[in-house]
Structure 1
């Protein structure tokens, strides 16, 4: 195994480490920003630890320096053999990150009440920080503060850093916990994950860093092998938010956000907030939040993919991580800054590679620089065509 290769350990269902996998043939690890990551590992079925690579057990992937990249349960141990195989065949192990635990739960309107006593249709949030709201959702629906029948005994919460602004909003009954956390975190610019710490799975909220001044990739610097970017059109440029209606009077508001690539495109989307009482003192805040979320989720998307080379002075996991903002120099020598959405780490007996996918769906966020650049190119081409026609 190369000195910089990823270290893989197998754990049991109680998170006890059973041993290190030193003879894997190939490994791909994909940590993702506020989403479920993935791990795929190939190993000979003759391996002494192969009998441990089964459903119910899990993997822990660490860097050579001991930092945990991902941890999570095994989902698909697939076996195959052909006539060309000299041994018992090959196992391909598929695992997901421990973030998937959050996707198993829904948000109950009254998390402390039994299912037969859910007398309201929404869970109301009114907290002094966004992190506090996120922690409350996890704690009451899956963590130590949940009902005994819903509590996950392995789940703990990291200390509250009180990150993010105050939050006032309502969560619809039984919305998926992971999806709700993703929406809340995106609006506040926060990151979260679930990862094994000791003998527990810890829910963590943290503030991604702006490393665009130090994590810089370009062909000229010799730390970039390839780069590409793509765009997709928006699905919503006008959010029609409707609150109340039964029994309180209806209130309707329209929120517009012009897309830089399709400035004349209007795509209306109904945003149902009829569960919100229009007599509520926080009506405006809730409608504004719902409108902005709809526009952000439906914005035109830009995605920049780069293949950086880990160098002694700039390495993934030490100098930048998923969620951080980095910079890449592409066409025309221009530097673009954006958020690392996911990183694909591959490791084998002979080499290790890193590929980062950069960019988010927000037309007003960091991706706007790339997105606006392409929009400007289209405008410039249009002006040239106009001048020629004249």
Structure 2
């Protein structure tokens, strides 16, 4: 199986081919940045082909498109007096074209430059099929829909593939490549940027990985498995003690035990987890109790749920009722205050009118002459008329005053009832809050147990054969099967590393299946445990 390396310039135009090298190493990764490195003699025409901004496309014999293509990002001169003599050697290396996705951030407003981002959304929601989400994000960040200074020369993103499961996410200056890893991982979808030798552009390809678990199998019996190692490791933590708020004996303590692992491995290990951020304390009966404070308004502060809302609909409704009652009470108080002035004035006016009538009557009684009596009578008539007016005004003012007072009394009563209802609702909501925080400390305990749980590591090292070759028969993202000791394990090919010698022949092809080598090894305890059991049964029969 041979390989060849084509070279293109910064405009993506093909400028030649490198057919002589000292070594070629490259790694193809599924939905991630692959890498390549070429070691060639310096001072040769082929060494001069690769320029800054240019790159390479690595082809495999019998495969219709490059396995990997990418731009150069590093030159390293290498000279020794023993092997790399004369002009020395040149290491030329770079990342694959998937790096383009990692070169852009997901702007909240893709159509706006950075100085105008403030005028738009703070975050951008994504809710579409994974294929459409990938295409749209890349098109708007570096394709034809991108701002002019963000577009990549010679890039073809094609049309919306409209494939894959639904993506629901939010974006705010995230690295797009990192986001695409997440979207593809959970939705059986892949993407890659690859050089197109015909159009001399870089094409975006969004594709569904194939399920080749029946066709592509690795096992010692088939001769395409160089080595495998499986390891069972006992638990490092089997008991987790979580401590919440409170002091001394009032501090709430809770324990979670992995009884199955203790029984299997015959050992136990304890770990303490401090969660003073969880507002639980121990009640006098030993049960968990919510830690609360009472504010100046007389209400208990029982906190809020993870969404920042009150714990129950009853509390929400009670707060709404209280707000209405407070508004009504304030309005009633203001109305009553307004009624006090006219009422007091009417009372004073009535008292003055009554006094005037009394004085007028006395004057009439004291009058001696007819003229005095006529004048006194006239004054009395006027005083009684004024008294009638004052009485009418007093009656109206008193009615308004009594009405506003009754309204204030009712509003005050309603306010008191609303306050009591809120207090009752807060009390009733405490168990809901307690249940939530109990789930929080359970999650904390489970996370600690997970970190120290028993583990099974399964490492496999496939090789290429005439009957099963990477690139020709399977590719990164495809599902394959590993069969060892009577147990089959199916997972996707995450990456493949290839070393090619100076003759263009393969020295080594090293696929990594599943989480192997990813930095996040999958815990295959059950699978590895089954391997061990089957091996023991086989040894027993032998």
Do they superpose with TM above 0.5?
Answer: yes
Which residue number in structure 2 is paired with residue 326 of structure 1? Answer: 480
2: CA distance, partners of 1:244 / 1:137: 28
Which residue number in structure 2 is paired with residue 23 of structure 1? Answer: 20
Aligned-residue Cα RMSD (Å) equals 3.4
Contact 2:164 2:189 in 1 (8 A): yes
Q: Counterparts of 1:352-371 in structure 2 under 5 Å?
A: 352=506, 353-360=508-515, 370-371=524-525
Which residue number in structure 2 is paired with residue 266 of structure 1? Answer: 446
Which residue number in structure 2 is paired with residue 317 of structure 1? Answer: 471
Q: Counterparts of 1:190-339 in structure 2 under 5 Å?
A: 190-197=189-196, 198-228=199-229, 244-245=307-308, 266-267=446-447, 304-311=459-466, 313-330=467-484, 332-339=485-492
Worse-matched range after superposition: 54-63 or 99-108: 54-63
Contact 2:31 2:191 in 1 (8 A): yes
Q: Which runs of 5+ in 1 are unaligned?
A: 234-241, 257-262, 269-294, 381-390
Worse-matched range after superposition: 314-323 or 42-51: 42-51
Q: Counterparts of 1:118-129 in structure 2 under 5 Å?
A: 118=117, 119-127=120-128, 129=129
Offset at 1:322? 0.5
2: CA distance, partners of 1:31 / 1:89: 28
**What TM-score do you get using the length of structure 1 for normalisation?**
0.74
- Give 1 or 2: higher strand fraction: 1
Offset at 1:227? 2.7
Contact 1:339 1:367 in 2 (8 A): no
1: CA distance, partners of 2:229 / 2:445: 26
Taking structure 1 as reference, are residues 342 and 371 closer, same or farther at Cα in structure 2, changes over 3 Å only? farther
2: CA distance, partners of 1:112 / 1:86: 54
Which residue number in structure 2 is paired with residue 145 of structure 1? Answer: 145
2: CA distance, partners of 1:222 / 1:134: 39
Contact 1:29 1:40 in 2 (8 A): yes
| 1:20-45 Cα deviation digits (max 9, x unpaired) | 11111211111001110011111111
1: CA distance, partners of 2:125 / 2:48: 47
2: CA distance, partners of 1:39 / 1:229: 30
**Runs of 4 or more above 4 Å deviation:** 229-233, 248-254, 300-303, 375-380
| 1:201-243 Cα deviation digits (max 9, x unpaired) | 222211101111010111111222223457999xxxxxxxx86
For these two proteins, the number of residue pairs brought into alignment is 323
Contact 2:9 2:51 in 1 (8 A): no
SS of equivalent residue, structure 2 residue 124: strand
Q: Which runs of 5+ in 2 are unaligned?
A: 236-304, 313-432, 535-542
Taking structure 1 as reference, are residues 161 and 39 closer, same or farther at Cα in structure 2, changes over 3 Å only? same
| 1:21-77 Cα deviation digits (max 9, x unpaired) | 111121111100111001111111143211223432211100112430100011121
2: CA distance, partners of 1:150 / 1:250: 46
